[in-house]
Amino acid sequence: MAMQPTRLEFQGAAGIRLVADAYGAPGAPGVLLLHGGGQTRHAWRRTARALAKHGFYAVALDLRGHGESDWVHDGVYRHADGGEDVRRVIASFAAPPIVVGASLGGMVALSIEGVYAPGSTSGIVLVDVAHDAVPEGIERIVGFMESGTSGFASLEEAGEAVARYLAHRARPASLDGLRKNLRLRDDGRWYWHWDPRMLETGDIGDLRDAGHFERAARNVQVPVLLVRGAESDVVDERIARELLALIPHARYVDVAGARHMVAGDENDAFSAAVTAFCEEIGGAALRGEGMRQPG
């Protein structure tokens, strides 16, 4: 039987309720997993289980406006507020965790360690995200997200939309996984379980223009692993090399056969790279050296 997670709840900024799944023993070295925009904590199931099997306490969080976490009352999604949410979750760990962030989640991880709360993590993993991005790749993601805001007549219709977007992947035999990311509303249509208002009110683009993420990268002192999809249309080789120049101590892994959604495209290779990085950073803690118990 597959390892079953423990459901957790946290209070984020301004009283936002955040929901997470935890795998492993709470006193073990921690890893916090932050999904990309439009995804949910369920994107990390396989990786979280792999980390728990290697002795880590893996917590996969629904970011504000996603999954079972609360939507923002006024519909305005500020990057700093999302960062404060995550900072509070980080503070709940027995010791500073490693933070793994994909896309939007990686931007939050980079901001926390480089700007909002330096030293609050023991390391960060940036999954196909950097200080910059290829505009065409971002447009493709946003286009897919916008295309589903009116909902779907059935799970099958939603599955067809995903299959077109992820044409390089084999279609899953079951729609059960898709069901976790959709909700059936009173109008009889299925909608993605994230707040569409974030497409209009998010400030990520403005922060890029202001150089926020470049400054954050320059300030990061903890160990960093950049995991890029070798076929990514969001982080190309030029951007990856620029990030490595901004963070000279960072390590870099290209995952063959993967695009922007690395964990979903090639999960075994992705999980192996992340687990190896976490084991190196958390080796002393795994041996019981220097860990404090929750309390």
Asked if 97 and 20 touch (Cβ cutoff 8 Å), the reply is: no
Q: What is the pLDDT of residue 291?
A: 33
Q: Could you read off the pLDDT tens digit of each residue along the chain, which spans 295 residues?
A: 467 999 999 999 999 999 999 999 998 999 999 999 999 999 999 999 999 999 999 999 999 999 999 999 999 999 999 999 999 999 999 999 999 999 999 999 999 999 999 999 999 999 999 999 999 999 999 999 999 999 999 999 999 999 999 888 888 888 888 888 899 999 999 999 999 999 998 888 889 988 999 999 999 999 999 999 999 999 999 999 999 999 999 999 999 999 999 999 999 999 999 999 999 997 655 555 433 333 2
Beta bridge partners, 7, equal 21
Contacts of 122 (CB under 8 A, 6+ apart): 95, 96, 97, 98, 222, 223, 281, 282
Domain boundaries, the chain: 6-134+201-286
Q: What is the pLDDT of residue 284?
A: 54
State how far Cα 249 lies from the chain centre. Answer: 22
Architecture of the domain delimited by 6-134+201-286: 3-Layer(aba) Sandwich (3.40)
This prediction's pTM: 0.93
